[in-house]
Amino acid sequence: MSIINCTPDSFSDGGASFAVEDAVRNSLEHVSAGADILDIGGMSTRPGATEVSVETEIGRTVPVIRELRERHHLDCHISIDTFRAATAEAAVGAGATIVNDVSGGEADEAMLATVARLDVPYVLMHMRGNPRTMSQLTSYQDGDVVAGVRRELAVKVQRALCAGIKRWNLIIDPGFGFAKDLAGNCQLLDSLNSLQGVSSSEDQDCLQGFPILVGLSRKQFLAKLLTLPPPGSTTTTTPPPPLPPPDQRLVPTIVASTIAIRNGAHLIRAHDTKIIKEVINTVDGIRSFNSS
């Protein structure tokens, strides 16, 4: 899943695809590089991001989708990255085939019913609060991030199913970087294969059978890992070194994506399509020799 940010304030590319023609060109380049899905968004969800109007969001995304479908006859999947039902409906009407909702149906009470009616795949992500408040909501019961994410995702899944979304249309996203601190993100990544496990006391927590999408690309927690002192070191740096900018986080993105794939991720959301496609193909190639 390749990221197309139709925003002027994206944390990763600073608006490189803000204009329609730039977004279309960027989208076609990602497809040529191996993208299976284009994830088109018109509002940043980075920590502290300010919301834009639904009209602005639709105006940024729908013309891009329509141009890709009608002028370029693009036949790959297009995902609309939004937590608003009106935007989702407009995007699907223009040719989007997936809805990717960072709020998991909590930001807009009409979203779940809208997705059920549209009958398209729905990415349901774990997040607490909103982009302005989520960094203060990183504490989990007994410090068990995986159990907390699993439990809270299970509640969202049940709400989606009760709203009429078909089980086979649901994709879950643990929400790396959303309401998780550095330790929580790392624990979740390292134990991703237990996300679909069953709690011994609460069978309803089971998420087995749902595809897992992860968004790790250029995330801030990966940059923080690059500034940590070596294990066992007693030396501290004051002040701490500056974080590498987003476009210098490729190596930790590759490592984290590899770990995620090995731990059960089915879909990787990425900026660097060609390289991450090669990562996926390499891991799958290694696995193929152990399939028997």
Distance between CA atoms of 98 and 93, rounded to whole angstroms?
Answer: 11
Res 127 pLDDT > 60: yes
pLDDT value of residue 241? 86
pLDDT value of residue 30? 98
Q: Is 244 a member of any domain?
A: no
Res 271 pLDDT > 80: yes
Query: Mean per-residue pLDDT for 233-240?
Result: 72
Res 70 pLDDT > 60: yes
Name the DSSP letter for residue 37. Answer: E
35, 273 contact by CB (below 8 A): yes
Whole-number Cα distances in Å, 284 to 1, 261, 266, 289: 17, 9, 11, 9
Kindly name the residue from 128, 219, 249, 277 that is annotated as catalytic: 219
Between 145 and 10, residue with greater pLDDT: 145
pLDDT value of residue 290? 84
Query: Mean per-residue pLDDT for 139-159?
Result: 94
Model confidence at 47, pLDDT cuts 50, 70, 90, reads confident
pLDDT value of residue 237? 64
CA atoms within 13 A on the CB side of 229: 9
pLDDT value of residue 18? 72
Q: Is 246 a member of any domain?
A: no
pLDDT value of residue 236? 67
Total domains in the fold of the chain: 1
Q: Is 265 a member of any domain?
A: yes
SS3 125: strand
> Which of these ranges, 47-56, 134-143, 246-255, has the smallest mean pLDDT?
47-56
Q: H/E element holding 3?
A: strand 2-5
Q: Which of 273, 171, 169 lies closest to 218 in space, CA to CA?
A: 273
62, 68 contact by CB (below 8 A): no
The CATH number of the domain where 278 resides is what?
3.20.20.20
Distance between CA atoms of 217 and 15, rounded to whole angstroms?
Answer: 16
Between 101 and 50, residue with greater pLDDT: 101
CA atoms within 13 A on the CB side of 174: 33
Give the number of other Cβ atoms within 10 Å of residue 236's Cβ: 7
Res 11 pLDDT > 70: no
Q: What is the pTM of this model?
A: 0.92
Res 14 pLDDT > 60: no
Res 99 pLDDT > 80: yes
Model confidence at 10, pLDDT cuts 50, 70, 90, reads low
219 included as an active-site residue: yes
For the chain, what's the residue count? 292
What is the percent of the chain with per-residue pLDDT over 90, rounded to a whole number?
Answer: 80
Res 67 pLDDT > 90: yes
Distance between CA atoms of 216 and 157, rounded to whole angstroms?
Answer: 22
Kindly name the residue from 180, 249, 269, 277 that is annotated as catalytic: 269
SS3 25: helix
269 included as an active-site residue: yes
pLDDT value of residue 117? 99
DSSP strand E in 71-112: where? 77-81, 98-101
Q: List the domain range (segments joined by +) for residue 163.
A: 2-219+251-288
Res 289 pLDDT > 80: yes
pLDDT value of residue 231? 80
Q: Is 127 a member of any domain?
A: yes
pLDDT value of residue 229? 85
Using the structure block, give the residue that is written with the tokens 């994506």. Answer: 257
Distance between CA atoms of 142 and 280, rounded to whole angstroms?
Answer: 34
pLDDT value of residue 194? 92
Tell me the one-letter amino acid at 25. Answer: R
Whether the bond into 174 is cis, omega within 30 of 0: no
Q: Is 158 a member of any domain?
A: yes
Listed in sequence order, the residues at least 6 apart from 77 whose beta carbon sits closer than 8 Å to its beta carbon are 36, 37, 38, 97, 98
Give the number of other Cβ atoms within 10 Å of residue 64's Cβ: 27
Terminal CA-CA length for the chain: 29
Listed in sequence order, the residues at least 6 apart from 274 whose beta carbon sits closer than 8 Å to its beta carbon are 33, 34
Tell me the one-letter amino acid at 172. Answer: I
pLDDT value of residue 196? 84
The average confidence (pLDDT) of the chain is 92
